[in-house]
Amino acid sequence: MEPEIKSTGFVTSDGVRLHVLEACPRGAAPAARSPVIAFVPGWSMPAAIWREQLSGLGAAHCVAALDPRGQGESDVPPGGYTIERRAEDLREFTARYSRVVLVAWSLGALEALECVNRYGHATLDALVLVDSTVGEDSAPTSGSGFLDALRTNRRAAIEDFVSGIFRLPRPAPEIAALTDAALRMPLEASLSLFPRALSREHWRSIVRVFPKPLLYVVSAQFAGQAQSLQQHRPATRVTIFADAGHALFVDEAARFNALLAQFVREATNTHSSG
């Protein structure tokens, strides 16, 4: 039986209401002994993009997905669109639960790493980074062309971006909904989210010393970085979805869910034995 996905939320320390989708097994609650699997979407995307994970994993685990500020159903405040503030938002999101396996995709993965860098990892049982750079070789291609396209014709650029994150075509209403969601945030706010001032070494130094279970699950574009990370941090679990797009957890939801459920079981056992 699929769990009921409920809307909830909280108010950040700077007064912004952030929306959260939650689901738990019947009779369970997010404060239960097992960790909450907490999902963070990427640039401009809503929490609802994790719906296959919320419905697929929520029957056995408490799960939660955050709409970051300016995204999904969260407030669109005038400020706070920096990696520093968004890292603080993540700290406040995860602090709502006693134990967390944090799953962060794309830009959200960098925000998760910055959260660990600034606030530590005490509430985390484990970390899952999904299809994001982590500062390893080889470097991704420059995104300057995309930024120019956003300034020239934002809606067209967003439509191309949304369609391009999937390997297999998605229904037109889904693409339209994700495009409209991305356009809620003011243009300049959306551009300020990219942490261009931070070096690749910054991310590499954080991820290599993270002391708890780490899963790095990527599409083919980050296979080189996955190999490098595993060489420098041998305890990292790496899985490559060679035939999936950037939103690999949508393209191959069943495979991703099974992988994540297994990883959570292993991380929970590590936490309990530690």
Q: How far apart are the first and last CA of the chain?
A: 33
In the chain, % helix, strand, coil (3-state, to 5) comes to 45, 15, 40
Give the pair of three-digit tokens for residue 244.
């999936």
Question: For position 34, what pLDDT does the model report?
Answer: 83
The C-alpha atoms of residue 102 and residue 194 are separated, in whole angstroms, by: 21
Average pLDDT over the chain, rounded to whole?
Answer: 94
Mean pLDDT of all residues in 111-140: 94
Domains defined along the chain, listed by start: 6-273 (3.40.50.1820)
pLDDT tier for residue 274 given thresholds of 50, 70 and 90: very low
Q: Residue 269 has what pLDDT?
A: 76
Per-residue model confidence (pLDDT) at position 262: 96
Percentage of the chain modeled with pLDDT above 70: 95
Q: Which of 164, 161, 163, 185 is nearest to 175 (CA)?
A: 163
Q: What confidence tier does 100 reach under pLDDT thresholds 50, 70, 90?
A: very high
Q: What is the pTM of this model?
A: 0.95
Q: Which residues contact 107 (CB under 8 A, 6 or more apart)?
A: 42, 43, 132, 193, 194
pLDDT tens digit sequence for 46-76: 999 999 999 999 999 999 999 999 999 999 9
The residue-averaged pLDDT of 125-144 equals 87
Give the pLDDT confidence of 215-272 residue by residue, as tens digits.
Answer: 999 999 999 999 999 999 999 999 999 999 999 999 999 999 999 999 999 988 765 5
pLDDT score at 71: 97
The pLDDT value recorded for residue 143 is 65
Please tell me the least confidently modeled range out of 122-136, 141-155, 193-207, 213-227.
141-155
Q: Is 67 left (phi over 0), alpha (psi -120 to 50) or beta?
A: beta
* Cα separation, 224 vs 228, whole angstroms: 6
Largest CA distance in the chain: 55
